[in-house]
Amino acid sequence: MSQNASAPAIHGTTASRAIGRIFVSREFSVFAALALLIIITEVVNPRFLSGQGVKDLLLNSTIFVVMAVGQALVIITKNVDLSVGSILGLTAFGTGSLFAAFPTIPIALVFLIGMAFGAVLGAINGFIVTLAGVPALVITLGTLYIYRGINNAWAGSKQYFIGNQPAAFGNLSVQTVGGIPTIAIAALIVVIIAAIFMFATRAGRDLYAVGSDTDAARLFGIKVNSRTVGAFIACGTLTGLAGVFYASRFNSVGADTGSGFELQIVAAVVVGGVAIFGGSGTVTGAAIGAVLLTTMTGALAALNVSKFWQQAIVGVLIIAAILIDRILSLRTARKLRVSEARNA
């Protein structure tokens, strides 16, 4: 009788612990900050959450969400890809070039070509980083300028406008399903697939191991170089997808498309709880961080905050996120030392 009575209590305790972990997670705190920002902005400016306003928020977040997921995979391995803005620019302009050269090309094929193009550029980054043994920060800073230079030479002063593309392609950012833009739904699917990959597959868990301790990962038989290259390829593929989305979403693409995106994406990932030193964080958190930063930009504009202060506030948010990560990592290390001392 007592055993049967204790069973529900055990299950209740387990459930309460699980719920408690959710409420103390970085993802929940970022989501709570996002909700608070939206509520405050709506109170001050009731037009912020109008039908068109919500649609604009979702559309503005879509491209950053997809790029943030790819960047999170790289940062989890204790690397970073600073060339993502240039990769997006190349794939976006390449999309316009495809439609100009082949007006009747199937849209699905354009997406595949854009993702493949991004994957190649990401693979170049990954192979150079692993073969040269040079920090990814340095390598991808170099490829940022190389890819941007290629785009400048390719595009020149030419621009492709959304009116030059098939109506069905431009409508991807106009059509909605249940009031949600089609490309926003696609971005959500990307987040779900990436989250499942990271937690339900050996390859995904290996990325955490590589970022936590590269030497230990090698001792356990993990192919560190191949996993690292794979992360860069995945980042390039998703950035290529974002580039095609960009070509559908915005009025024009040209030589400067995507300039400066790299720092915003890294900021979104860090704010979303992915440790800049690798080994921890989730793609879900990175996606929420991207939504938070894009929503913050729109909210501050709705509150008539000057562009200078918008950038300053985002900078403070980034520094705060890094400091929080550092404090949490030190606290975790301290708890581990205390636990080891007690067990000894």
In the chain the domains, ranked by start, together with CATH numbers, are: 54-306 (1.10.3470)
The beta-carbon contacts of 207-212 under 8 Å, at least 24 apart in sequence, are 207/73, 207/76, 207/77, 207/231, 208/76, 208/279, 208/280, 210/77, 210/78, 210/278, 211/75, 211/76, 211/77, 211/78, 211/275, 211/277, 211/278, 211/279, 211/280, 212/278, 212/279, 212/280
Beta carbons of 14 and 271 less than 8 angstroms apart: no
- Tokens encoding 275: 């440790």
Instruction: Specify the pLDDT at position 196.
Output: 96
Instruction: Specify the pLDDT at position 71.
Output: 97
pLDDT tens across the length of the chain (344 residues): 455 555 555 555 665 555 655 555 677 778 888 888 888 888 888 888 887 878 888 888 999 999 999 999 999 999 999 999 999 999 999 999 999 889 889 999 999 999 999 999 999 999 999 998 889 999 999 999 999 999 999 988 888 776 667 888 888 888 888 888 899 999 999 999 999 999 999 999 999 999 999 999 999 999 999 999 999 999 999 999 999 999 988 878 888 888 889 988 998 998 888 988 888 889 999 999 999 889 888 888 888 877 777 778 777 877 777 777 667 667 766 776 776 667 66
Instruction: Specify the pLDDT at position 15.
Output: 55
Single pTM value for the model: 0.87
Spatial separation of the C-alpha atoms in residues 29 and 35, rounded to whole Å: 10
Instruction: Specify the pLDDT at position 193.
Output: 97
Closest Cα partner for 44 from 243, 302, 228? 302
- Tokens encoding 184: 């926003």
